[in-house]
A and B are shown apart, each in its own frame.
Chain A
Amino acid sequence: MSSVTSPNLPNGSPNIGLAPRTLRSRRVRGVTLRGWAFMAPALIAYAAFVLWPIAQTIRYSFYNWDGVAPAQWAGLANYKTVFTNGQLVAVIGHAFELIVFFSGIPVVLGLAIATVMRRFVTGRMSTVARTILFLPQVVPLVAAGIAWSWLLSTTGAVDQILSGVGLGGWARSWLGEFNTALPAVGVIGAWVLLGLCTVLLFAGMAKIDPALYEAAQLDGASPFREFIAITLPGLRQEIGVCVTVTMISALSAFDIVYIATQGGPGNATMVPGLEIYELAFFNRQVGLASALALVLMVLVIVCILPVQWFARRGSVER
């Protein structure tokens, strides 16, 4: 870029010194303009179908509106309802409970499985395993919901297996009873995400220097010490990714709940995503639905930021 200004020009002569500078700034302006032209289509689509709706969500949230009659200014009343109404507080609580299943099970189990797999699984076996473990990522969540509601019903395979191993007393309608419905939904989510996390963590382990493990074995470290001292720190970024992805799907769960329980029994599995949908399109409480929507959006960001900070701290790249 600096080659545009000739280095031989005497500093003191104004008319020669000025020309390259205007030439250069004009060129920069041209590039800037062209750059923004390249960005314009994406920005327009984004503004029209993301930024504008977000602004509208914020606006609606300050009104009482049934979607038809003129809206009434409500101030912060809708937010107050979101944080004080017992049912809505419970709904937000359910989202956090789902994190335990959607994030906890896939990450912990995924780590355990990947650790064992690292020692021996190679070539063909790992390709087959990867393909199968990825199936839940490819089929729609709706299909997972349908298949699992049948598996978890009283005549389904889960109760059949339990009876088969002599635990028939545990058999029940997992999605139909108040105290098992939410964990059952959580298990469906864990099924969807376990394969992704396992493969992600397995790929991450392959990047850890084998010399570290050899050194640890020479020092007589137990497999557990090895895991704590080498594997976990080496997987910081991958674990961060798994927790981020699974947390977002837990907090914004919709498809699985809609198909498997519709939020029932009672409100036992009602989650923010489904509640927004029902409030806005069935109860005609657009303002309250919007306030909950905004709370959900902020909640996702607030939960993700510390994870991202933790995952990226100490990693040199980026």
Chain B
Amino acid sequence: MIVKRRDAISGGLMLLALMAVTLLPFISMFTSALFPSGTYPVGISWPAHPQWGNFVQAFDVANMATILKSSLSIVVGVVPVSVLIATFAGFAIGHLRVRHSQAAFYLFVLGLTLPFEGVIVPLWYEIKGMGLLGSRWAIVLPLIGLYMPFGVYWMRAHFLSFPQALSEAARVDGATTWQLFWRVHVPLARPAISSLAILLSVWTWNQFLLSIVLVNDPTNGTMAGALGAFQGQYGTNIPLLSAGSLIILTPTVVIFLVFQRQFVAALLQGSLKG
């Protein structure tokens, strides 16, 4: 009994320490955000006169309203289309299992480990050729393609585990493949589809490389791109930088806290399957 209690205490302390280390960067940003703009705070300390106004100032300086709108429209451009066409392909490969679809599957798997840096240079020339450099399409279109390996892999895994018998029953009732897909499979695949949508939204929101290379103008890019640009501009003004970063992070964290159960489940499954 005594041994168990000691274990519990040491385990609890370890967990607390780990949580403290995880939160340390956020706490440090928060306290420094309250120092007068342009001063040099030291480590984690509470200022004599907390400057809550820094957050208001950062909200304006960071162009928060515009950035939010831009990131949101990129997510709306990328996620529904990606999820839909990945579900189509996953259905064909995992459920219909048509001839040579396995070859297509291996083609997609090839891209699963692709670092985006590997294709960023030709992507720049391709997007430039399309005349889209600097527009939101420059992020939306490539991301849809880049998400296909994971998206198809994910949806195929769902459809593989789905019994064929239900489809055969629907076929006997005279359903076409199209009806079969929309009436039977999409409703039953809802958990897999919503997890995929959550993952792709987070990844799009946080996409940095494509944003700085293909768009450059932070008001037309993703949240991560805007954050990077903000750091480039106010890197030496620690209080303002901290306040701005925290404001830019707030929507992400709020959405995460609201949907935390789904997020954690999706991220866990995502890494297990991926």
Interfacial residues, chain A to chain B (CB-CB below 8 A): 28, 31-32, 34-36, 38-39, 41-43, 45-54, 56-57, 60, 113, 116-117, 119-121, 125, 129-148, 150-151, 155-157, 159-161, 191, 194-196, 198-200, 203, 237-238, 241-242, 245, 248, 251-252, 254-255, 258-259, 272-273, 276-277, 280-281, 286, 289-290, 293-294, 296-297, 300-301, 304
Contact = CB atoms under 8 A, between A and B. Distances in A.
Interface string B263-274: 110011001101
A258 B205 CA distance: 18
B119 A293 contact: yes
A141 B208 contact: yes
B37 interface: no
Contacts of B92: 35-36, 38-39
A142 B85 contact: no
Contact of A143 (B24, B84, B202, B245): B245
Contacts of B212: 258
Given A117-B15, A132-B19, A135-B256, A35 B122 contact: no
A140 B8 contact: no
- A-B pairs, top 9 by smallest CB distance, nearest first, are A49-B145, A160-B43, A35-B98, A252-B115, A147-B25, A56-B122, A42-B89, A53-B119, A140-B224
A127 B107 CA distance: 39
A140 B205 contact: yes
B101 A35 contact: yes
B253 A46 contact: no
23 contacts: A36-B92, A41-B85, A43-B104, A50-B146, A56-B122, A120-B11, A133-B18, A135-B253, A140-B206, A140-B208, A142-B208, A144-B25, A155-B43, A156-B43, A159-B43, A248-B113, A254-B117, A258-B228, A259-B228, A259-B231, A273-B117, A290-B121, A294-B118
B272 A160 contact: no
B113 A131 contact: no
Contacts of A51: 107, 111
Contact of B252 (A139, A195, A258, A290): A139
B88 A134 contact: no
A113 B18 contact: yes
Contacts of B28: 147, 150-151, 156-157
Contact of A50 (B18, B117, B149): B149
A157 B43 contact: yes
Contact of A296 (B7, B115, B208, B241): B115
Contacts of B260: 131, 134
B196 interface: no
Given A43-B104, A53-B126, A147-B245, 17 more contacts: A35-B99, A41-B88, A50-B119, A50-B148, A132-B22, A139-B253, A140-B223, A142-B206, A143-B248, A146-B29, A160-B43, A161-B43, A194-B18, A195-B18, A258-B212, A281-B124, A296-B117
A235 to B, nearest CB: 12
B238 to A, nearest CB: 6
B7 A48 contact: no
B169 to A, nearest CB: 13
Contacts of B113: 248, 300-301, 304
Report the contact-size class of chain B (Cβ under 8 Å from the partner): 35 or more
Interface in B19-63: 19, 21-26, 28-29, 32, 40-44
Nearest to A164: B43
A276 B117 CA distance: 7
B172 to A, nearest CB: 10
B213 interface: yes
A57 B121 contact: yes
A155 B236 CA distance: 12
B74 interface: no
Contacts of B25: 144, 147-148, 151, 191
B252 A138 contact: yes
B120 interface: yes
A310 to B, nearest CB: 16
Contacts of A148: 25
